[in-house]
Structures are given as structure tokens and as C-alpha cells.
């Protein structure tokens, strides 16, 4: 791969934006990762497959209404409604080595969030921007919900074609329309349960 330092200034900047488009959360870059492929999509007209579109589903859980449950193996996020019902959203999840489980709360919410790559990411990929303002080209998409004091977020994406895949560095991504819908439904303090597999 040619170093960005050898490219004209405008082309080097384009390369930075293209690489940044695939980034989700702190982690290492991986060859042939669909999120790192060239192309700044930012396309909200992309149509999700029917099974990944937001829909009300039967969902049995002991968690109270308003709880978010993420099931990474299924690539779904559920917002519990009660009476064995939940709103289900298709999501992108962490790739191998970046998946996790646990219990957290939404600690902060942001519209069109800025992106500041962490130091460890800059160390591995020094060509990345040190800061990217929020907007359609930002890899965090239209909304972000921060999970506890971790680096993980539930957020939008400028790569809607990656929903349903294991591609991120541990964050959970939704298409912008879905993350805006979820954002309006849940307050700061919402309980978030992350599971690898469905509850038995």
C-alpha cells in the first residue's frame, strides 16, 4: 500500500477519509475487512434485507420494558416493550477478538457525534485523522449512545451495507434511520444487556 506521504495533499486527505469510513471503535485494522474497503458510502437510501429491518417481534425475557438487549450471535438489538414483545433492529457487531458481553447503562447521548481516534489506534494507524467532526461522512453516523465508561457505543454508520456483519471493534452499529429511532426512545441511564447468545 502506498504511503499517504507520497500522495498529493488532496489525495492524501481523501485516503484518510476513506480509511476512516470503516472505523467503529478502538481496535486494530484487519486486511480485507469490509469496513475498510475504499468508498465513503454515507448512503441512507441503502435498503436493508427484510430480516434486518426494524420490526416488532415476539421476545420473551425477564428484563423490564425499556431495557436494551444485544445478542451478538444473532446480529440483533432488542428494545424490550413488555408482554413478550420487543422492537428488533438489525445491527453490525464486533469482529472475532472484539466481541464482549456484560451489563452497562447508557451514560451519554450525542447527535451527529464527533470522532476522536484513541491514542492506541493512532499508534497503529498514524495516517488516521486526529479528529473528525460529526456529519454524514463520519463513521459514527447520526447518533451515538455511549455505554458506561467504556470505549463502546451504540451508534449509526456511514456504511449501511455492513449491518448484519461482524465487522466493528466492539461497538454496535445501526443504519442511521434506526439509530435515530432508538435514540429518541431511550434516555440516559437505560440498562443495556450484551449477550453472545440468546437467553435460554
**DSSP bridge partners of 163:** none
* Cell numbers linked to 81: 416493550
Q: What is the DSSP string of 48-115?
A: PPGGGS-EEEE---SSPTT-EEEETTTTEEEEEEETTEEEEEE-BEE-TT----EEEEEEEEEES--B
Which residues does the annotation mark as catalytic? 155, 171
Measured CA to CA, the distance from residue 187 to residue 25 in angstroms comes to 22
For the chain, first and last CA: distance in Å? 47
Amino acid at each position: 500500500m502506498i504511503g499517504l506521504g507520497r500522495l498529493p495533499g488532496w489525495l492524501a486527505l481523501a485516503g484518510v477519509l476513506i480509511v476512516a469510513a470503516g472505523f467503529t471503535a478502538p481496535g486494530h485494522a484487519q486486511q480485507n475487512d469490509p469496513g475498510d474497503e475504499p468508498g465513503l458510502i454515507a448512503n441512507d437510501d441503502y435498503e436493508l434485507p427484510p430480516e434486518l429491518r426494524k420490526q416488532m417481534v415476539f421476545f420473551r425475557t425477564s428484563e423490564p420494558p425499556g431495557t436494551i438487549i444485544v445478542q451478538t450471535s444473532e446480529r440483533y438489538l432488542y428494545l424490550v416493550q413488555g408482554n413478550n414483545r420487543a422492537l428488533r433492529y438489525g445491527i453490525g457487531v464486533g469482529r472475532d477478538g472484539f466481541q464482549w458481553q456484560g451489563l452497562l447503562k447508557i451514560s451519554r447521548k450525542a447527535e451527529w457525534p464527533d470522532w476522536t481516534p484513541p491514542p492506541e489506534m493512532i499508534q497503529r494507524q498514524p495516517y488516521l485523522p486526529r479528529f473528525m467532526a460529526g456529519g454524514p461522512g463520519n463513521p459514527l453516523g447520526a447518533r451515538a449512545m455511549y455505554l458506561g465508561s467504556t470505549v463502546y457505543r451504540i451508534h449509526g454508520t456511514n456504511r449501511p451495507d455492513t449491518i448484519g456483519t461482524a465487522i466493528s471493534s466492539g461497538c454496535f452499529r445501526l443504519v442511521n434511520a434506526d439509530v435515530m429511532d432508538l435514540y429518541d426512545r431511550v434516555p440516559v441511564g437505560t440498562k443495556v444487556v450484551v449477550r453472545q447468545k440468546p437467553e435460554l
